[in-house]
Amino acid sequence: MKKISFFIIIVLVVLTTPSCRQMLSSNNSAAISDDNENKTNLTESDSYNVQLIDIAAPERNRILSNEHTQYLNAIWRSDEWQPDVIKTRCSFEFEINGVVLRYSDELGVFNDDTNQMHIVVTKEQRDYINTSVIGITVQ
């Protein structure tokens, strides 16, 4: 009985300690998951701290709204990540708790240089990101 009680206490401590929870959930945030589907290394804790970095105009850098962050997280957490980065000019970066994703507004491509992966968004997603999230005026 003492062994079972001790085991239950250890499990509760591990599951309630933030650093242990993060360590246990790190398998879900690996660049490539166990089933070989491509993923970027974003975790649940990254959901609401996204900074937009305008490389050409740093004075425009800002923290994104929850609405825009949730929209982007749906894209970033998808299974559409592909190996390698696409060689293109990226005018913007999105920083999520230390994770940097470079973005090409012309192609609608997010590059994850750390994990050597990319994701290409649809034309509709690109238009929304460019106009609503970044604020690029369509001419």
For residues 10 and 37, membership in a common domain is answered with no
pTM (2 d.p.):
0.68
Phi first, then psi, for residue 92 (nearest 5°) are -135, 155
> What's the average model confidence in pLDDT over 12-26?
40
Residue 114 and residue 41 in contact, taking contact as beta carbons nearer than 8 Å: yes
Beta bridge partners of 102: 93, 111
- Is residue 83 in some structural domain? yes
Confidence of residue 137 (pLDDT cuts 50, 70, 90): confident
For residues 58 and 112, membership in a common domain is answered with yes
The mean pLDDT value of the chain amounts to 77
For residues 3 and 44, membership in a common domain is answered with no
